């Protein structure tokens, strides 16, 4: 396994991050344990979750599964960098969502209880909070850091200017502020190249791409569809809309002798601004297969062909659209 610093911090994380959204709704608790154990054997030390994962409002099913796995001991907690999130609704009350100091404190305590740990290594704001001032957000986060309940703070689904505002407010308080941004990023969705990645690089934030395979679209979806495997109506519609692109992409992967999913991950890993794509395996084969991406070298000619198949926005703004 390769390791890198999380943004400008001294914290070392694996180049692949284990996503746990499937734990509970789609992956049984027993299988989830097996996946986490295997991830440790593969030296994946970066685990990502969220308090809302599990499809049952307020229960934090996925966090509970991870907590029971950690409670088995064996040094599990000390071997991982544990990341979770705050923002989304955890109940029906008006203060059971968002980034008010009230909700941040309560949500953190509940996540710690479910995860059966005394601290969260990376506490991420799941979305932008437009109705709470940064002074309040940072005061709440500073208190959690001071109490040792949170070590680092990250964001998710922020625009570049949100990152800039957050960091300016943190600097005024002599607080470290954000150390990472978790964004939608893959070959089919490259809009963060305009402003989010440049902002993250300038402020020293690690970029953690979610949905690196575009919901399975980049994992050999066309091939699987032609082999008769089930696909949702939405996926079938998307396949038809982008069939020409997928034919070109999967043909390129065949030339390389690599699985489409691994090429998609390798492409992200070639971006110097990317810390670790989040892989969300439902099976052991998917987990073990993803590690192949670390060994794939994409030369300039291949990267250019990928750009031709899946064009990006043209680089960072404003040069991408102005001059």
- Does residue 318 lie within any of the structural domains? no
- Does residue 316 lie within any of the structural domains? no
pLDDT digits (tens, 9 = 90+) for 117-156: 999 999 999 999 999 999 999 999 999 999 999 999 999 9
Q: Give every CB contact of residue 43 below 8 A, 6+ residues apart in sequence.
A: 1, 14
Q: For residue 131, count other CB atoms closer than 10 A to its CB.
A: 7
For 39, 57, 82, the CA distances from 79, given in Å and listed in that order, are: 11, 29, 9
Enclosing domain of residue 37: 3-309
Predicted local distance difference test score (pLDDT) of residue 221: 84
Which residues are 122's β-sheet partners?
83, 152
Cα separation, 139 vs 310, whole angstroms: 42
pLDDT digits (tens, 9 = 90+) for 180-204: 999 999 999 999 999 999 999 999 9
Q: Give the residue numbers annotated as catalytic, written as ranges.
A: 53
- Does residue 317 lie within any of the structural domains? no
Which ranges in the chain belong to alpha helices (H)?
A: 29-41, 61-70, 76-79, 101-115, 134-146, 160-172, 196-203, 221-226, 233-241, 243-256, 260-269, 284-290, 300-309
How many independent structural domains does the chain possess?
1
- Does residue 323 lie within any of the structural domains? no
For residues 261 and 287, the answer to whether their CB atoms sit within 8 Å is: no
- Does residue 322 lie within any of the structural domains? no
- Does residue 155 lie within any of the structural domains? yes
Which residue positions in the chain have pLDDT lower than 50?
none
- Does residue 289 lie within any of the structural domains? yes
Predicted local distance difference test score (pLDDT) of residue 231: 62
> Is the pTM for the entire model greater than 0.85?
yes
- Mean pLDDT, all residues of the chain: 95
Cα separation, 14 vs 12, whole angstroms: 7
CATH code of residue 257? 3.20.20.100
- Does residue 154 lie within any of the structural domains? yes
């Amino acid at each position: 396994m390769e390791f890198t610093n999380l943004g400008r911090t001294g914290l070392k994380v694996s180049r692949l991050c284990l996503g746990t959204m499937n734990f509970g709704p789609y992956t049984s608790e027993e299988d989830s344990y097996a996946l986490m154990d295997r991830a440790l054997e593969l030296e994946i030390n970066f685990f990502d979750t969220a308090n809302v994962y599990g499809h049952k409002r307020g229960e934090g099913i996925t966090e509970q599964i991870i907590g029971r796995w950690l409670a088995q001991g064996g040094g599990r907690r000390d071997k991982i960098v544990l990341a979770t999130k705050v923002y989304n609704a955890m109940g029906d009350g008006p203060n059971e969502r968002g980034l008010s100091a009230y909700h941040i404190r309560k949500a953190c305590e509940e996540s710690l209880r479910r995860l059966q740990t005394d601290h969260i290594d990376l506490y991420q704001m799941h979305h932008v909070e437009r109705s709470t001032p940064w002074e309040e957000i940072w005061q709440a986060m500073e208190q959690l850091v001071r109490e040792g309940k949170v070590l680092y703070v990250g964001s998710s689904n922020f625009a570049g200017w949100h990152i800039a505002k957050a960091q300016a407010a943190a600097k005024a308080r002599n607080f470290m502020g954000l150390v990472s941004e978790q964004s939608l990023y893959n070959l089919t969705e490259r809009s963060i190249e305009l402003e989010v990645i440049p902002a993250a690089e300038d402020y020293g934030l690690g970029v953690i791409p979610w949905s690196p395979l575009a919901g399975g679209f980049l994992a050999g979806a066309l091939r699987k569809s032609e082999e008769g495997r089930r696909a949702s109506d939405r996926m079938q519609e998307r396949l038809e809309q982008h069939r020409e692109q997928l034919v070109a992409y999967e043909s390129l992967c065949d030339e390389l002798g690599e699985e489409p999913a691994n090429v998609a991950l390798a492409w992200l890993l070639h971006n110097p601004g990317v810390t670790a794509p989040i892989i969300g395996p439902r099976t052991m084969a998917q987990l073990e297969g993803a590690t192949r991406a670390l060994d794939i070298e994409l030369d300039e000619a291949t990267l250019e062909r990928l750009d031709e198949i899946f064009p990006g926005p043209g680089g960072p703004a404003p040069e991408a659209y102005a001059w």
